[in-house]
Structure 1
């Protein structure tokens, strides 16, 4: 019998087209580019499945080779796809990703648009609601709904996201939000490092106001809250959520209830940072599904171990190209942790 999903991951599944280190994927020769299945919610779903947490992916793909590849991937990983929608007209999205020679990446434009946009932008609210809340729907038995902010960039996907969040809240399912700010998804002409506008900030903050767990990068916290402190983010939001602030190779910081702290990053050889943050998010949710009380911060030492486990998930993904292929099993994470010390 297949276990009911503990985590539901809503949002985009797409292809990251990685250019050669220091090069441009839009102009590179075909033998110099590396197409990898990705998209933050899809990455988290696949990482959770690899770790052993039952998970479902909620999204929309084109009826094309990318969609077929994801169908095979999700089936192979054991990801529940009962709420996966198929678009007969719009293609799955291809994102152009530049990488510097240290493995850090920057998201540029897109490839494949035939004039109607991409499948993930057209996620439909009504079929999604039926899959979530109908008889035997996915919300029954779920602990978490994970969402990002990218669906907010387009009206149809934004409406579907808001419907899912409302249904989850009514069912007592906790909301986790990974800010995951990507300006080119909102405006194709925006610079890859552009901050959100005031209107975009308002949309994001409305979503964050419903979260029990917020993960954001330091620059995202600064743009949205004027400070990078996890406690400042927590105090600015009405539900006083648990907050994790990542900062690349700098220490990760958190506040879970009264438990606060930071941990230095693991020192590893970096091949590609794509998907490392998503693997981290999966590690956190995997741990919270096993020990829900950690969210309240009543066991500070347990929270440290939770963040350490999640950091190891991210470090392992950094050591090979792509966001999904290098994702570790729980056993691989345990092996990594047994051989690596992390400075508190």
Structure 2
């Protein structure tokens, strides 16, 4: 029986970060691989904060796949939901970085986006027991781009509904993952009736809703319990149980922004696991939850890599106590 309170569904991969900052893909001389993939990042961040989490996804029967599964297990993430594909490789993505630390997803080292193991995730092999035991499902949208993994997304949503698992959708828009990026917005929008919380970047909000106002988005969707719109160094706007507000970002020395949004999601879900969704009805508690999530995201930007940089609950509390 799994004790994972949160299931994180989607891709796990290696981000190959350019060692030379501010250069184009062609100008980069060397790369350093860091474990990543938004749902895997969220799972690891949750465990480090103290909330048991499981990861559901597919990697290859190869050395990178072995390394990623071992990492999840070392962190303490439940890997019951990890599938292995005998021939498709584990995904690796080239990430170039700007002088300010922002990252640009530049390609897949000569591979086509459809060739990787994460696209082969099989709906028939999703472990039902994980959903029976879970409270939350955290879902990205990249797996909607491929037939097998898209089927698995819809199966996961069916299981979440069957076992009363709350769903947070993190849009995580990455055009480079989609064989036909122009089909993505309508494909993503079809999920909105099946989710409870929606997390968007400012750019994603504009793409999908033509507004960055979380209250307007919440009103338009009607069926969700909360909308979060993050905007990097400008913080997060939110509408949670009809409580609206904006929490500014903390000013910290940024080394690498990779995974900051995933850590934000983990911080938000961790707080809901700690104090319950009902707390969002209190305006002060809603703001406190988002402030906590902002803190987890900010601390993650202070070191390189998405997973290695994630803070513990004690580090988050210490930061909040020193930044009242």
TM category (shorter chain) comes to over 0.9
Query: How far apart, CA to CA, are the structure 2 residues paired with 1:224 and 1:107?
Result: 20
Task: Give SS of 2:137's match.
Answer: strand
Among 261, 264, 267, the residue aligned to 2:245 = 261
CA offsets 1:198-222 (integer angstroms, 9 cap, x no match):
x321111111221101000111111
Among 135, 141, 160, the residue aligned to 1:149 = 141
1:340–1:160 CA distance, 2 compared to 1 (3 A)? same
The structure with the greater share of residues assigned to helix is 2
Q: Is the 8 A contact 1:176 1:211 kept in 2?
A: yes
List structure 1 segments (4+ residues) > 3 angstroms apart after TM superposition. 24-27, 112-116
Query: How far apart, CA to CA, are the structure 2 residues paired with 1:53 and 1:240?
Result: 23
Match of 1:85 in 2: 83
Runs of 5+ consecutive residues of structure 1 not aligned to the other structure: 191-195
Match of 1:35 in 2: 33
Find out whether 1:301 has 2:284 as its counterpart: yes
TM value normalised by structure 2: 0.95
**Between 250-259 and 35-44, the greater mean CA deviation after superposition:** 250-259
1:237 positional shift? 1.3
Among 318, 330, 336, the residue aligned to 2:301 = 318
Among 108, 117, 120, the residue aligned to 1:122 = 120
Query: How far apart, CA to CA, are the structure 2 residues paired with 1:65 and 1:102?
Result: 33
TM value normalised by structure 1: 0.90
1:53 positional shift? 0.5
Match of 2:70 in 1: 72
CA offsets 1:277-321 (integer angstroms, 9 cap, x no match):
0000000000111122346x3111111111111111111110111
Match of 2:185 in 1: 201
Query: How far apart, CA to CA, are the structure 1 residues paired with 2:114 and 2:158?
Result: 28
Match of 2:232 in 1: 248
Query: How far apart, CA to CA, are the structure 2 residues paired with 1:24 and 1:60?
Result: 30
1:139–1:108 CA distance, 2 compared to 1 (3 A)? same
1:258 positional shift? 2.1
Match of 2:94 in 1: 96
1:251 positional shift? 2.8
CA RMSD of aligned residues (A): 1.7
